[in-house]
Every structure is written in structure tokens, then in C-alpha cells.
């Protein structure tokens, strides 16, 4: 019996279709119950995610309005408004229903004069600012309301690449928008988005307005706070970032208790461990961070840390790379006692580090960053106005690196890497976060300028 080629192709097509039909999720299966859905979980989670509307007064500068001739020629009245009202939107998550606490991103509310929280049930509430942490980009608000719904925190150390997650927020002002995806990567850092970076990366679509919203697991527990997207075109391209829930919980407690985050200064300079350093310090491992300098009279010096120590664990977190160390430093506050595991001379040791407030008034530039060698700094306070502060360069060696980059004695450093610097402690902290390129904002001879240190 001869079978035509068309018959064979038809049979193969039928078989392929039947296999594909069994593999695909059908629209309906009569008599076999409901299809898988996230609807039940979301019914309990959505009410805890809120829309945040902020109102900000922005000063309007127009040189023509300051010109007396222009005002007189065009008869411009003196009471012309010099400011305008702007509005923006973001998202937030209720984390304590009884006390009305809501967590969101700092950049959503940092310049707001007025903050209004819109709940899923339609209520609009005025919010009180409790505290902000610009370094991690978190803020805590409080509202006075009953019948709030809160989210429970997941243990973000248990999150794995490939876990299913759901992002909930208000992108483009579209309330209660839900998107889903997976965890794409963990421990993302070095992006230059925030000071302390330890992001959960997800491909769940996140767009402008999602900032401060919830990233939850399939149980509806809070895995992270959505904070940023990588979007060359301005829209979602499947690369979003969230602050891990464990970091959020630690910062939340500090902000509620004290209204601000006061991190302790450890007083060490660390470097990623590599093959050469491992051999030099007789360490039988290739991951971790090695101490290359210890600040005199610092918390690290008091605890007994010395150059050459390899830090393998800080608190409950294993340290395998620089980002692990800096992420743990984000939740180490003044007054904390932290257990640290080190490797010295091939043997493991445990030490306890007590974090104290940094009251250092003077410091050599090389202690802050090797590229600042040859300069000496001290805290600066302008007694004339009682407000201006910064870091004064008291000496700059004409043969040193700092001088070559343009720093001069008498310069007052008021900012670094687009962050305000008010004293040596803040200067050290900012440069410790990201010093690939140091951009100093300095005040010199009555003018502000920038000094780039590469």
C-alpha cells in the first residue's frame, strides 16, 4: 500500500497539534475545576498597596523679572508669582495596619510639601513623613486610618533566581496594576542608582509610577520594594530592581524609632579577594573581601582587625564579594554589636565589632581614598551664618595626586558624587559607596565648582 507524502504530513501535523494541545494551558476544561490563578492571593494583597500623590512648590527663576528696567518698561507688577505647584505620583505599601505605617521610596516623597495617600477602597488620606533614608532610597509615612490591610515580610535571603514574583503598583497613575515574572538575578550592585545597592532583579514589568510598590511572592508576602528600572527607551524592557525585604525591615525599624538612619563607621578599607591576594595572605579560598587598611582609633581598630584579615561573614550574612560587605554595612547602625568572622594566617576567628559614632575632626586624604593622597581634611563650620558646613582641605601637597586633579588648600567640599557632604563622616561614607569616579563639589573664592578625581 502506497502512502502519499501529503498524507504523512497530515498525520504528523495532527500528532504535533495533539501534543501541543496537551502541553498548553487550555482556556477551559469542563468538569476539571478552575484554572490556576493568582486572583485569590491578589484579593488579599492589593488593598495593602497604595497610590501616593505628592505636591511640591518649585521656585521659578527668571532673570528678566529681576531686571528693574525690564519690569518698568513692560509694567510688570511686583507681586508676580515666583513659584509653581507640581504634582507627581508613586506607590507605597502598608506594613503596619494598626499604626498606619507605609513604606515607599525616598525619591517619591523627598521634596514633597504635601503627601496624599489613596487607598484601594477609594479613601484619600493626608500622610505624615516619619523618616527618610536617601542612601537606600526608602521612606516611611504614617496615616491615621482604620481598616487598613498590611503585607507580611518574606525572608528575602531565601529568594532564589527563578522564583515567581508579582509586582503591584500604580504605573503612569493606573491604580492597582499587577504584573508578573520571575527573579532574574540577586545581589545586583554597582548600578549607580542608590548609595547602598543589593537589588533583586526581576523581569516583572515595572514602569514609572511603580516606585515604592510591592514585589511579592506567590504567597502574597513582601519580597521587596520596587525602586528602579533599567530603561534606555524610557519604558519597561524587562529589567527592574527591588530593595530586598530584609533590608527594608531593618531600615523601617530604624526610621520609626529614630526618624533617621545613623550608620556606624567601621573604619576599614576593603578589597575583593583574588588569587594573588589569597596566596599572599595564605587563604584557601577565592571569595571574600580582604582588609587593606584600618583607620586608627576606629571601631575596626578597637575590635582588633588588621590589614590582611579576610572577612568571610558579617552578622548572619556570608561575604563573598564587595557588594555583600557594603549591603550588610547598610543595616549596621550606631550602637550595634556585630559578630564578624575573619580568616587570619589561615585560621578562622570570630570578633565582635561595636559600632560607635564617628566624631573624627581631621583625616589624611589617603585614609578616605588613595587618590586623595597628599591632602589633609578637617570638618568645616561657617560661624558667620551658623548653617554652612562641609569638609575643608587644610593642606594639599603640590606634588600629590589631589593637587594634580585640581584640589587646592582652602577648598570647602560640600558635595561628592551628587550627594551632600556635611562632615568627614559623610564624605567617607559617600566615597565608600561608589568611588569609580569622584566628583567633588567645592566652594572656592566665593564660587562653586567641580573637581574630578579619576
Q: Which residues are part of the catalytic machinery?
A: 107, 137, 211
Segment holding 104, helix H or strand E? strand 101-104
Residue corresponding to grid cell 578625581: 453
Segment holding 245, helix H or strand E? helix 245-258
DSSP 265: P
What three-state secondary structure class fits 405? helix
Residue 96 CB partners (closer than 8 Å, separation 6+): 150
Q: Which three cell numbers stand for residue 446?
A: 566665593
CB 84 within 8 A of CB 205: no
What three-state secondary structure class fits 248? helix
Cα-Cα-Cα-Cα torsion 142, 145, 151, 152, nearest 10 degrees, comes to 80
Neighbours of 454 (CB within 10 A): 8
What distance in Å separates the CA atoms of residue 412 and residue 381, rounded to the nearest whole number? 10
CB 94 within 8 A of CB 151: yes
Region label for 157, one of left (φ > 0), alpha (ψ between -120 and 50) or beta (otherwise)? alpha
Distance separating the N- and C-terminal Cα atoms of the chain: 81
Amino acid at each position: 500500500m502506497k502512502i502519499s507524502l501529503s498524507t504523512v504530513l497530515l498525520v504528523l501535523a495532527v500528532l504535533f497539534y495533539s501534543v501541543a494541545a496537551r502541553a498548553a494551558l487550555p482556556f477551559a476544561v469542563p468538569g476539571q475545576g478552575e484554572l490556576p490563578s493568582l486572583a485569590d492571593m491578589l484579593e488579599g494583597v492589593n488593598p495593602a498597596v497604595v497610590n501616593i500623590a505628592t505636591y511640591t512648590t518649585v521656585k521659578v527663576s527668571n532673570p528678566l523679572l529681576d531686571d528693574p528696567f525690564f519690569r518698568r518698561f513692560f509694567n510688570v507688577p511686583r507681586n508676580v508669582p515666583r513659584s509653581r505647584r507640581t504634582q507627581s505620583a508613586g506607590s507605597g505599601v502598608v506594613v503596619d495596619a494598626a499604626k498606619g505605617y507605609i513604606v515607599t521610596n525616598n525619591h517619591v516623597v523627598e521634596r514633597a510639601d504635601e503627601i496624599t495617600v489613596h487607598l484601594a477602597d477609594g479613601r484619600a488620606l493626608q500622610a505624615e513623613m516619619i523618616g527618610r533614608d536617601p542612601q537606600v532610597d526608602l521612606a516611611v509615612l504614617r496615616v491615621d486610618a482604620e481598616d487598613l490591610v498590611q503585607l507580611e515580610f518574606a525572608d528575602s535571603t531565601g529568594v532564589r533566581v527563578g522564583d515567581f514574583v508579582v509586582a503591584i503598583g500604580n504605573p503612569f497613575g493606573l491604580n492597582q496594576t499587577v504584573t508578573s515574572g520571575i527573579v532574574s538575578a540577586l545581589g545586583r550592585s554597582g548600578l549607580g542608582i542608590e548609595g547602598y545597592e543589593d537589588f533583586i532583579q526581576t523581569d516583572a514589568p515595572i514602569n514609572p509610577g511603580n516606585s515604592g510598590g510591592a514585589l511579592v511572592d506567590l504567597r502574597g508576602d513582601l519580597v521587596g520594594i520596587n525602586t528602579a528600572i533599567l530603561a534606555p527607551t524610557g519604558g519597561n524592557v524587562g529589567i527592574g530592581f527591588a530593595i530586598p525585604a530584609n533590608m527594608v525591615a531593618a531600615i523601617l525599624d530604624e526610621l520609626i524609632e529614630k526618624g533617621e538612619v545613623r550608620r556606624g563607621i567601621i573604619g576599614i578599607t576593603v578589597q575583593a579577594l583574588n588569587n594573588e591576594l589569597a596566596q599572599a595572605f595564605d587563604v584557601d579560598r577565592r571569595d571574600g573581601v580582604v582588609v587593606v587598611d584600618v583607620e586608627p582609633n576606629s571601631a575596626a581598630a578597637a575590635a582588633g582587625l588588621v590589614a590582611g584579615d579576610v572577612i568571610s561573614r558579617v552578622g548572619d550574612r556570608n561575604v563573598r564579594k564587595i557588594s555583600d560587605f557594603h549591603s550588610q554595612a547598610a543595616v549596621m547602625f550606631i550602637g550595634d554589636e556585630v559578630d564578624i568572622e575573619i580568616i587570619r594566617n589561615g585560621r578562622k576567628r570570630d570578633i565582635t565589632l561595636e559600632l560607635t559614632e564617628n566624631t573624627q575632626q581631621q583625616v589624611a586624604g589617603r585614609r578616605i581614598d588613595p587618590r586623595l593622597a597628599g591632602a589633609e581634611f578637617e570638618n568645616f563650620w561657617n560661624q558667620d551664618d551658623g548653617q554652612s558646613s562641609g569638609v575643608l582641605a587644610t593642606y594639599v601637597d603640590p606634588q600629590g595626586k589631589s593637587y594634580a586633579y585640581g584640589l587646592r588648600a582652602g577648598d570647602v567640599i560640600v558635595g561628592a558624587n551628587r550627594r551632600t557632604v556635611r562632615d568627614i563622616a559623610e564624605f567617607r561614607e559617600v566615597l565608600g559607596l561608589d568611588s569609580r569616579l569622584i566628583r567633588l563639589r567645592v566652594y572656592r573664592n566665593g564660587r562653586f565648582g567641580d573637581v574630578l578625581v579619576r
